[in-house]
């Protein structure tokens, strides 16, 4: 009997069962592959760092006395360290496959030594032949330069010029992501020597291995002029974006599981309501509740088993695809994490079965007499629709669609939940991506807004007058535009790495000064007021917290060999180096020979040009700086933090596609179930003269109205939810107060319209099924 009932059920509710199966497959696939992705990336990072022998601390200094002072400290405390020299090269002096190298952060030349470097096959790279060059994986992946095995890279530094053959990419744990802000080409020892000339800008990067808990204190007290200093625990944060992407996919998977459950609940409730009489008959002839529930659970067990198995099968290639991007950057663990896939998929299937068990509890409540007598759920009708056709001015189709919704709000709850979840799943990542791409984000990177940024970062050479060099560039741009009658502000952020001290508390932080036509008043501060004289500074939350400094406190900051006392007048925020930073007053006299680097040159047009004028001026800047790239502030930040925004962009498309698919399937499911449930009413309407068009219209409009309400609710919920979800991620990177860039047209109009269009189309196509219902079926529900 079981089999016969099951067979009948599978045949009658084919669409519903197929849709449920699709959701179980999707949920199992995504949860298995994203759990695999997350654990693999996380585990692989630990494994990679261990294999690469990543140091506990890492810093870079440019001058020999500083290096010597560290060597004394290391000897005194028995620190194990490795010093490797890096030659800074200007991207404009590098040609990749015949084209200028596009890179706006620090580019260096290195030889092997220190941490272990791995080739694309995860083999440790022990030797490089003369004339060969290796590129870090994230550079190799970038689309702006055409790196390929066998391709040519020409490097020119002073009088030295050499052509190299690209041997491939390497996995470099120290400079393997864009977030580090620095990368390197690996060449042979002899080739390195060629470029290691007197005039070369060389920095010593030191990898320190120690478990001394006081190391940082001792190191900071040295007061070295570092251009970079990273604590070992920060290395993993550099891969935050890769972990973030894995985490977003896991969230999508969890939402898919939730949606599967909501659908399961809907289908079970629908089936039980529809088969109320049959259940009553089974009870009347003496079948126990457990047996009757078993009948339903067996079906869902079957769907869960098939769905889990198929989902698991699909999850393997998807897992490989997901980690393919990451596996180019890091050395993966030797064993595959397929057990994770199996466990996660089984968990998804088990949840479906468990949930179906809970949902069938309703069967216990039915009395056989109720069922046999009424043939329906036995519930008395509650007061129906709150709107009246006679008093409404709406045409019949929208009226009936609205009235159906108001009369049975409960039956739309599942749909509303799914659509709201879908809306949130689209809007929150879109808001995040738009914020990450917004021009305003530049204010979180110790910069202020401008119209254009020229990727002409400075290479500070102790043998030159760096300040004069900067000012010459500013004059050049100002004069260039003045000749064309355009008044511009030109400025640039110069970075130092300084010791910042308050009493006994000491930290090492990036410090910034805006050079040129910019004042401290033009930056954003969270508390206090902008520094107004050379004795005042603003600190980021992180830096202030590290030395317990507050507004009004005096702090000592050492730049180069000069230590001065400054009063803290403001607290600010920064995403540079996970939140550290100090801002000097613009006229403060700092020794530029100790500068660690700079950002691009910013240009602000005083006449507030419109879009087309901006495009023309960009072209002018391109003429003036043919070797550089001209960015908007948003593009510049995107460029600095790597192609994260691009990755998130493709994820946005993926999520939108998934949500559209889900909405379409849900619409099909709902319309099919409504048609089944309302067969006699549809036949009645046909009998009294309704044609198919208005009837399809009612079905489509109902779904459309529910989607519209859900999208509005989802959008409203997303407003407080976006910061709740996204702020912690920004906080990890040092930004505590974010102004989200919500593109109203995209988020509130375009995306909802796309969702509405696709879902309504699915509902409309599905509603065509009612054409098969004839008016004469009015008295025959089963025919």
Single residue of 284, 321, 389, 526 touching other proteins by CB under 8 A: 389
Task: Identify which of residues 519 and 775 has a Cβ nearer to other proteins in the complex.
Answer: 775
Task: Identify which of residues 693 and 744 has a Cβ nearer to other proteins in the complex.
Answer: 693
Site string for other proteins, 511-550 (x = CB under 8 A): ----------------------------------------
Residue 708 CB, shortest distance to other proteins, in Å, is: 20
Single residue of 43, 151, 294, 385 touching other proteins by CB under 8 A: 385
Alpha helices in 583-640 (DSSP H): 611-624, 633-640
Strand runs (DSSP E) across 210-246, as ranges?
226-231
Q: Nearest-CA neighbor of 752 among 699, 697, 701, 714?
A: 714
Q: Residue 780 interacts with other proteins (CB under 8 A)?
A: no
Q: Residue 384 interacts with other proteins (CB under 8 A)?
A: yes
Residue 675 CB, shortest distance to other proteins, in Å, is: 15
Task: Identify which of residues 1 and 688 has a Cβ nearer to other proteins in the complex.
Answer: 688
Residue 8 CB, shortest distance to other proteins, in Å, is: 17
Residue 385 CB, shortest distance to other proteins, in Å, is: 5
Site for other proteins in 453-472 (CB under 8 A): none
Task: Identify which of residues 92 and 686 has a Cβ nearer to other proteins in the complex.
Answer: 686
Site for other proteins in 340-379 (CB under 8 A): none
Question: Do the bridges between strand 562-572 and strand 597-605 make them parallel or antiparallel, or are there none, so unpaired?
Answer: unpaired
Task: Identify which of residues 546 and 699 has a Cβ nearer to other proteins in the complex.
Answer: 699
Stretch that binds other proteins, among 141-149, 174-182, 290-298, 773-781 (CB under 8 A): 773-781
**Distance, CA of 238 to CA of 83 (rounded, Å):** 22
Task: Identify which of residues 388 and 611 has a Cβ nearer to other proteins in the complex.
Answer: 388
Single residue of 286, 390, 485, 720 touching other proteins by CB under 8 A: 390
Residue 709 CB, shortest distance to other proteins, in Å, is: 18
Task: Identify which of residues 689 and 720 has a Cβ nearer to other proteins in the complex.
Answer: 689
Sign of CA dihedral 566, 571, 576, 580: positive
Q: Residue 770 interacts with other proteins (CB under 8 A)?
A: no
Task: Identify which of residues 63 and 692 has a Cβ nearer to other proteins in the complex.
Answer: 692
Residue 770 · residue 697 · CB < 8 Å: no
Residue 381 CB, shortest distance to other proteins, in Å, is: 4
For the chain, give the number of residues: 783
Task: Identify which of residues 449 and 677 has a Cβ nearer to other proteins in the complex.
Answer: 677
Residue 778 CB, shortest distance to other proteins, in Å, is: 6
Q: Residue 775 interacts with other proteins (CB under 8 A)?
A: yes
197 DSSP assignment: -
Q: Residue 623 interacts with other proteins (CB under 8 A)?
A: no
Q: Residue 737 interacts with other proteins (CB under 8 A)?
A: no
CA distances 250 to 198, 256, 322, 426, 479, Å, are 52, 10, 12, 14, 54
Single residue of 380, 410, 611, 623 touching other proteins by CB under 8 A: 380
Single residue of 64, 691, 768, 783 touching other proteins by CB under 8 A: 691
Single residue of 151, 560, 694, 769 touching other proteins by CB under 8 A: 694
Single residue of 1, 688, 724, 745 touching other proteins by CB under 8 A: 688
Site for other proteins in 668-687 (CB under 8 A): 680-681, 684-687
Q: Nearest-CA neighbor of 304 among 346, 358, 259?
A: 346
Hey, is 625 helix, strand or coil?
coil
Hey, is 165 helix, strand or coil?
strand
Residue 384 CB, shortest distance to other proteins, in Å, is: 5
* C-alpha dihedral, 162 to 167 to 172 to 177, nearest 10°: 80
Question: Cβ atoms within 10 A of the Cβ of 92, count?
Answer: 19
Site string for other proteins, 393-422 (x = CB under 8 A): x-xx--xx--xx--xx--------------
Residue 680 CB, shortest distance to other proteins, in Å, is: 7
Which residues neighbour 249 within 8 Å (Cβ) at sequence distance 6 or greater?
30, 33, 34, 37, 38, 322, 651
Task: Identify which of residues 195 and 399 has a Cβ nearer to other proteins in the complex.
Answer: 399
Residue 23 · residue 249 · CB < 8 Å: no
Residue 640 · residue 181 · CB < 8 Å: yes
**Distance, CA of 628 to CA of 609 (rounded, Å):** 22
**Distance, CA of 214 to CA of 153 (rounded, Å):** 44
Residue 602 · residue 490 · CB < 8 Å: yes
Task: Identify which of residues 328 and 407 has a Cβ nearer to other proteins in the complex.
Answer: 407
Residue 702 CB, shortest distance to other proteins, in Å, is: 11
Q: Residue 273 interacts with other proteins (CB under 8 A)?
A: no
**Distance, CA of 352 to CA of 257 (rounded, Å):** 8
Q: Nearest-CA neighbor of 400 among 390, 391, 409, 389?
A: 389
Residue 539 · residue 581 · CB < 8 Å: yes
Task: Identify which of residues 103 and 399 has a Cβ nearer to other proteins in the complex.
Answer: 399
Alpha helices in 360-514 (DSSP H): 362-365, 368-374, 396-407, 409-436, 466-482
Task: Identify which of residues 533 and 776 has a Cβ nearer to other proteins in the complex.
Answer: 776
**Distance, CA of 120 to CA of 482 (rounded, Å):** 51
* C-alpha dihedral, 600 to 601 to 605 to 608, nearest 10°: 20
User: Total binding residues for other proteins by CB under 8 A?
Assistant: 37
CA distances 189 to 72, 127, 446, Å, are 27, 9, 37
Task: Identify which of residues 358 and 406 has a Cβ nearer to other proteins in the complex.
Answer: 406
Stretch that binds other proteins, among 43-51, 349-357, 707-715, 775-783 (CB under 8 A): 775-783
641 DSSP assignment: T
Task: Identify which of residues 533 and 781 has a Cβ nearer to other proteins in the complex.
Answer: 781
Residue 410 CB, shortest distance to other proteins, in Å, is: 13
Single residue of 567, 692, 737, 741 touching other proteins by CB under 8 A: 692
Q: Residue 388 interacts with other proteins (CB under 8 A)?
A: yes
Q: Nearest-CA neighbor of 73 among 232, 231, 220, 225?
A: 220
Residue 771 CB, shortest distance to other proteins, in Å, is: 8
**Distance, CA of 105 to CA of 90 (rounded, Å):** 10
Task: Identify which of residues 243 and 397 has a Cβ nearer to other proteins in the complex.
Answer: 397
Phi and psi based region of residue 367 (left: phi greater than 0; alpha: psi -120 to 50; beta: remaining): beta
Residue 575 CB, shortest distance to other proteins, in Å, is: 55
Stretch that binds other proteins, among 73-81, 225-233, 348-356, 385-393 (CB under 8 A): 385-393
**Distance, CA of 108 to CA of 624 (rounded, Å):** 25
Element (H, E) at 321: helix 289-327
Q: Residue 11 interacts with other proteins (CB under 8 A)?
A: no
Burial (CB count within 10 angstroms: exposed 0-12, middle 13-18, buried 19+), residue 62: buried
Q: Nearest-CA neighbor of 763 among 697, 686, 667?
A: 667
Single residue of 533, 565, 779, 783 touching other proteins by CB under 8 A: 779
Q: Residue 783 interacts with other proteins (CB under 8 A)?
A: no
Bridge partners of residue 495, in order along the sequence: 512, 597
Sign of CA dihedral 402, 404, 408, 410: negative
Residue 399 CB, shortest distance to other proteins, in Å, is: 8
Q: Nearest-CA neighbor of 192 among 89, 81, 105?
A: 89
Residue 397 CB, shortest distance to other proteins, in Å, is: 9
Question: Do the bridges between strand 582-584 and strand 505-516 make them parallel or antiparallel, or are there none, so unpaired?
Answer: parallel
Binding site for other proteins (CB under 8 A): 380-381, 383-385, 388-393, 395-396, 399-400, 403-404, 407-408, 680-681, 684-694, 774-776, 778-779
């Amino acid at each position: 009997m079981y089999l016969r009932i099951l067979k009948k059920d599978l045949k009658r509710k084919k669409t519903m069962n197929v849709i449920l199966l699709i959701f179980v497959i999707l949920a199992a696939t995504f949860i298995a592959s994203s759990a695999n992705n997350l654990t693999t990336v996380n585990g692989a990072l630990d494994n990679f760092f261990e294999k690469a022998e990543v140091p506990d601390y890492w810093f870079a200094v440019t001058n020999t006395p500083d290096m010597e002072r560290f060597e004394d400290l290391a000897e005194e405390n028995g620190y194990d360290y490795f010093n490797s020299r890096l030659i800074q090269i200007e991207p404009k002096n590098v040609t990749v496959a015949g084209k200028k190298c596009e890179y706006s952060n620090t580019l260096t030349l290195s030889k092997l030594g220190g941490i272990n470097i791995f080739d694309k096959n995860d083999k440790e790279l022990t030797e490089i032949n003369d004339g060969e060059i290796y590129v870090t994986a994230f550079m190799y992946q970038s689309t702006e330069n055409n790196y390929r095995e066998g391709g040519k890279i020409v490097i020119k530094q002073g009088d030295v010029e050499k052509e190299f053959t690209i041997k491939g990419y390497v996995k470099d744990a120290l400079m393997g992501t864009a977030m580090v802000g620095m990368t390197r080409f690996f060449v042979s020892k002899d080739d390195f020597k060629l470029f290691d000339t007197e005039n070369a800008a060389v920095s010593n990067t030191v990898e320190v291995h120690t478990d001394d808990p006081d190391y940082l204190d001792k190191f900071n007290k040295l007061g070295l002029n570092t251009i970079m200093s990273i604590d070992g625990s920060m290395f993993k944060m550099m891969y935050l974006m890769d972990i973030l992407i894995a985490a977003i996919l896991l969230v999508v998977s969890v939402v898919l599981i939730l949606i599967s459950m909501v659908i399961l609940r809907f289908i079970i409730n629908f089936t039980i309501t529809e088969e109320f009489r049959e259940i009553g008959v089974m009870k009347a002839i003496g079948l126990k509740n457990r047996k009757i529930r078993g009948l339903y659970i067996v079906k869902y067990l079957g769907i869960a088993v098939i769905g889990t198995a198929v989902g698991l099968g699909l999850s393997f290639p998807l897992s490989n695809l997901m980690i393919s991007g990451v596996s180019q950057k890091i050395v993966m663990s030797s064993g595959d994490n397929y057990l994770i896939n199996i466990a996660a998929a089984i968990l998804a299937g088990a949840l479906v079965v468990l949930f179906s068990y809970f949902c069938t509890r309703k069967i216990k409540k039915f009395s056989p007499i109720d069922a046999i007598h009424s043939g329906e759920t036995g519930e008395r009708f509650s007061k129906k629709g709150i709107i009246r056709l006679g008093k409404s001015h709406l045409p019949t189709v929208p009226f009936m669609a609205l009235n159906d919704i108001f009369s049975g709000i409960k039956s739309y709850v599942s749909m509303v939940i799914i659509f709201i979840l879908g809306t949130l799943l689209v809007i929150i990542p879109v808001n995040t991506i738009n914020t990450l791409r917004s021009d305003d984000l530049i204010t979180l990177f110790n910069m202020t807004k401008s119209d254009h940024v020229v990727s002409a970062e400075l290479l500070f050479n102790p043998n030159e007058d760096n300040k004069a060099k900067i000012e010459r560039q500013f004059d050049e741009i100002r004069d260039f535009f003045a000749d064309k009658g355009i008044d511009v502000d030109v400025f640039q952020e110069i970075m130092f790495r300084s010791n910042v001290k308050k009493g006994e508390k000491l930290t090492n932080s990036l410090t910034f000064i805006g050079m040129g036509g910019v004042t401290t008043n033009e930056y954003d501060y969270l508390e206090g007021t902008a520094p107004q004289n050379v004795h005042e500074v603003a600190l980021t939350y992180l830096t202030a917290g590290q030395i317990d400094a507050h507004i009004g406190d005096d702090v000592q900051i050492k730049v180069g060999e000069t230590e001065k006392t400054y009063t803290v007048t403001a607290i600010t925020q920064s995403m540079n180096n996970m939140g550290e930073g100090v801002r000097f007053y613009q006229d403060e006299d700092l020794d530029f020979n100790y500068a660690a680097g700079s950002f691009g040159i910013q240009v602000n047009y005083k006449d507030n040009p419109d879009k087309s004028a901006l495009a023309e001026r960009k072209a002018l800047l391109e003429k003036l700086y043919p070797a550089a790239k001209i960015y908007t502030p948003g593009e510049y930040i995107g460029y600095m933090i790597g192609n994260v925004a691009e990755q998130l962009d493709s994820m946005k498309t993926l999520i939108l596609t998934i949500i559209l698919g889900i909405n379409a399937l849900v619409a099909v499911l709902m319309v099919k179930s409504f048609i089944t449930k309302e067969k006699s009413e549809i036949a009645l309407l046909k009998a009294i003269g309704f044609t198919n068009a208005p009837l399809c219209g009612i079905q489509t409009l109902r779904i459309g109205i529910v989607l519209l309400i859900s999208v509005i609710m989802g959008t409203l919920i997303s407003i407080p939810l976006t910061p709740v979800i996204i702020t912690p991620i920004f906080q990890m990177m040092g930004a505590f107060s974010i102004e989200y860039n919500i593109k109203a047209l995209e988020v509130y109009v375009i995306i909802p319209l796309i969702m509405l269009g696709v879902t309504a189309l699915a509902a409309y196509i599905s509603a065509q099924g009612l054409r098969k219902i004839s008016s004469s079926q009015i008295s025959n529900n089963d025919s």
